[in-house]
A and B are shown apart, each in its own frame.
Chain A
Amino acid sequence: MRWFTIYIALIFLAALPARSEEVVVGLSQNRVSLTVNYEGSEILIFGAVRRESPLPDDSALDIVVTIEGPPTSAVIWRKARRAGIWVNTESQEMRAAPSFYTVASTAPLSEILSPDADLTHRISTRLAIFEARGSDPRDAAAFTEAMIRIRQSESLYQELDGAVSLQRDTLFNTRVILPKNIVEGIYTARILLLRDGEVIDEAETFIDVQKAVLERWLYNMAYDYPPLYGLLALSLAVFFGWGASALFRFVRS
């Protein structure tokens, strides 16, 4: 029985096309530090396609680059007018949605990616978001679209059709802006090689986004030692509030 399984597996492996094209990738930086004056940063993603066999001339090569920030659950609220004012009335939970998501590609996704491949690799923004189970699918779609729309307006989700430049079917590069409002965590960059709508190779690399030392320290203290953090906030207030007026009194006299 075991031998039979291995035999079957081998047949399938042999049936798969040999990986004739492979992607190698580099990043201009794999650490981003959210310092006091962080205003966003630009990441250059570049690489090359390595191939053992001659270039197939019957199909076009396309490249998709995605960058995904740490996912969180989220609640999307919808406002409605109640007694004359606009109030949050309905909500929909998202099980997991990336805090940041960019899809850059050599051409519009609809032209280069088959729906099946999109589903397996979860490439388009819509598929990167996992809705909560048991929600009314028609309504859920409106909430998911709203989430994408809001995050796009904050540059947290970006769809950059044609932003990847591919030279002589070998060298490629693209630039992605990490805006000022990103959260910290490990960001995953995926680079996918596409032919005839299918993914033929995939590479992953990571960007570590961290708050800088002071910000990290303050954040950790606020969550791990809240009483201490509260006392820090109060002593700063007392110090500056009392100190400044003492200083002004001293200057005046």
Chain B
Amino acid sequence: MQIYLPIAETSVNAFTLLGVGGGVGVLSGMFGVGGGFLITPLLFFIGVPPAVAVATGVNQVVASSISGVLAHLKRKTVDLRMGTVLLIGGLVGSIIGIWFFNLMQRLGQLDLIVQLSYVLFLGIIGALMLQESLRALRRSKNPNAPRRKLHTHNWVHNLPWKMKFRASGLYISVVPPLLVGVGVGILAAIMGVGGGFILVPAMIYLLGMPTKVVIGTSLFQVTFVAAFTTMMHAVTNHSVDVMLAVFLILGGVIGAQVGTRIGLRLKAEQLRILLALLVLAVCGKIALDLLLTPSELYSITIPGRF
């Protein structure tokens, strides 16, 4: 069954869309990842214009993180003060990202920028994930291997404008969280992702936040930045496709429930390797599209359309 997407102005197969949403939903439920970094490139592959894929992907992030953030707020595992600082940075980053996105679209280079960012970030995450899961696998076989120290006193602690973050038990400068927020906001606007994959490691290793508030606080920031970015895309370039979003979200929320069940039963370490390989495969596919001589050197853009 084909469905017509009113903003993308093309038809795609409804089951393919539900499959993309559902498949990524299962993965996100299993591994606790947002999945935006897989949904958006998969949408390119099925022929959704990149501008629409990015803006709609970020809308889908709101749906996939809203219930998580509500649960964490109820459990009080959100550092609201840190979340707000990260959020302020995120909003600024989102504005910068949207400006850059629209500029590149006018110059006809948007597709390239989006693809390049994906190659870069998927490559990094995939490699890190693979390394991390291989290490975890080795550790589970040999429990005496040296562990990495979680909290270290580094340059972050010597910056000005210090602030107390009681929930995290930190007294650090606001500059690093603001900058992290800005970076995540830019990624949200250009790539249509939540940015949890950058935010969570940054919070743990760079800011030294305790793990019990990391997930809640990152979901808090991601949800609001994604909501803001959705609004910005809708207002500045009209590229959010509600019809597409509904199918992705439906597939995604059902998939996430299934994935959570699977995740509880299976050993995650081996599966994490598979996820890492999947991420690297998507990265490789986009990279090949950029590197190999395309079968058609020309492309058409219509001002005001995608």
Binding site for B on A (CB under 8 A): 34-39, 72-81, 84-88, 91, 143, 146-147, 149-151, 153, 180-181, 183, 211, 214-216, 218-219, 222-223, 226-227, 229-234, 236-238, 240-242, 244-246, 248
Contacts and interface: CB of A to CB of B under 8 A. Distances in A.
B154 interface: no
Interface string B42-75: 0000000000000000011011111100100000
A78 B108 CA distance: 11
Given A240-B250, A241-B64, A88 B299 contact: yes
B231 interface: yes
Task: Kindly list the 9 A-B residue pairs having the minimum CB-CB distance in the complex, ordered from nearest.
Answer: A230-B234, A241-B63, A146-B298, A244-B253, A245-B67, A237-B63, A215-B6, A237-B62, A241-B66
Given A76-B300, A233-B242, A246-B67, A38 B62 contact: no
Contacts of A229: 234, 238, 240, 242
A123 B24 CA distance: 48
A234 B238 contact: no
Contacts of A234: 59, 62, 227, 230-231
Contacts of B238: 222-223, 226, 229
A154 B301 CA distance: 14
Interface string B1-17: 11110110111000000
Contacts of B60: 237
A242 B249 contact: no
A240 B246 contact: yes
Nearest to B232: A230
A129 to B, nearest CB: 11
A180 B8 CA distance: 12
Given A73-B302, A74-B301, A76-B300, A227 B63 contact: no
B301 A226 contact: no
A78 to B, nearest CB: 5
A78 B297 contact: yes
Nearest to A38: B4
Contacts of A227: 231, 234-235
Interface of B: 1-4, 6-7, 9-11, 59-60, 62-67, 70, 108-109, 112, 116, 227, 230-231, 233-235, 238, 240, 242-243, 245-246, 249-250, 253-254, 256-257, 290-294, 296-303, 305
Given A75-B303, A236-B242, 4 more contacts: A86-B291, A226-B234, A233-B230, A234-B231
Contacts of A75: 108, 300-303
**Highest count of chain B CB atoms <10 Å: which of A36, A72, A150:** A36
Given A37-B4, A218-B243, A233 B67 contact: no
Contacts of A211: 4, 6
Nearest to B62: A237
A76 to B, nearest CB: 6
A122 B244 CA distance: 39
Contacts of A77: 108, 298-301
Contact of A37 (B3, B108, B233, B234): B3
19 contacts: A74-B302, A76-B298, A76-B300, A77-B108, A79-B298, A80-B297, A86-B294, A180-B2, A214-B6, A215-B243, A219-B7, A222-B7, A230-B231, A230-B233, A230-B234, A234-B59, A237-B230, A241-B67, A242-B67
B234 A222 contact: yes
A147 B7 CA distance: 22
A79 B289 CA distance: 12
Nearest to B12: A180
Given A227-B231, A229-B240, A230-B240, A241 B59 contact: no
**Highest count of chain B CB atoms <10 Å: which of A74, A222, A232, A244:** A244
A242 B6 contact: no
B199 to A, nearest CB: 19
Given A180-B11, A230-B240, A245 B298 contact: no
A149 B300 CA distance: 11
Contacts of B303: 72-75
Nearest to A217: B6
A230 B66 contact: no
